[in-house]
Structure 1
Amino acid sequence: MQYDSMNYDALALVISKLGAQQEPAELHGTLTGLLCANGNAKAETWLKNLFPNAASGDLLGEEAFDELKALHETSRERLNATGCEFQLLLPDDDSDLDQRVHALGEWCQGFLVGLSLGGISDFKALPEDAREIAEDIVEIARADSSYSFDGSEEDEHAYAELVEYLRVGVLLINEELQPSQAPVAKETTLH
Structure 2
Amino acid sequence: MTDPSSELPDLADVESDARAMSLGVSASELHGGLCGWLAGGGALKPDWLAAVLADPSAPTPAEGSALQRLAGVTAGQLGDRSFGFDLLLPGSDTSLATRSGALFEWCHGFVGAFGLAVGAQASLSDEGQEALADLARLARAQAQEDGDDSDEEALVEIEEFVRVAALLLHGDCVLATQHRQRLN
Give the gaps of 5 or more residues in structure 1: 183-191
Letter in 2 for 1:149: D
Match of 1:187?
none
What is the match of residue 171 of structure 2? 175
Shift of 1:70: 2.3
Task: Give 1:157 deviation, angstroms.
Answer: 0.4
> Residues 154-169 of structure 1: matches in 2 within 5 Å?
154-169=150-165
Compute the displacement of 1:26 (Å). 0.7
More deviation, 7-16/128-137:
7-16
In structure 2, C-alpha distance between the alignment counterparts of 1:38 and 1:45, rounded to whole Å: 15
Query: Partner amino acid for 1:162?
Result: I
Q: How many residues align?
A: 173
Map 1:39-58; keep pairs closer than 5 Å. Answer: 41-49=43-51, 50=53, 52-54=56-58
CA positional deviation for 1:120: 2.9
1:189 aligned residue: none
Q: Distance in 2 between matches of 1:179 and 1:28?
A: 20
Deviation at 1:155, TM superposition (A): 1.0
Structure 2 equivalent of residue 148 of structure 1: 145
Counterpart residue number, 1:32 = 35
Q: Which amino acid aligns with 2:170?
A: N
Contact between 1:3 and 1:70, CA under 8 Å: does it hold in 2? no
Distance in 2, Cα, partners of 1:100 & 1:144: 11
CA RMSD in angstroms, aligned pairs only: 2.5
Change (3 A) 1:2 1:179: closer
Task: Give 1 or 2 for the bigger CA radius of gyration.
Answer: 1
In structure 2, the residue matched to 1:6 is: 9
Inter-CA distance 143–73: structure 2 relative to 1 (3 Å threshold) = same
Compared with structure 1, are the counterparts of its residues 3 and 18 closer, same or farther at alpha carbon in structure 2 (3 Å cutoff)?
farther
What is aligned with 2:82? Answer: 83
Normalised to the residue count of structure 2, the TM-score between the two structures is 0.82
Matched AA of 1:97: L
Distance 2:50 2:9 in 1: 21
The residue number in structure 2 matching 1:115 is 114
TM-score (norm 1): 0.79
- Kept in 1, the 8 Å contact 2:36–2:109? The answer is yes
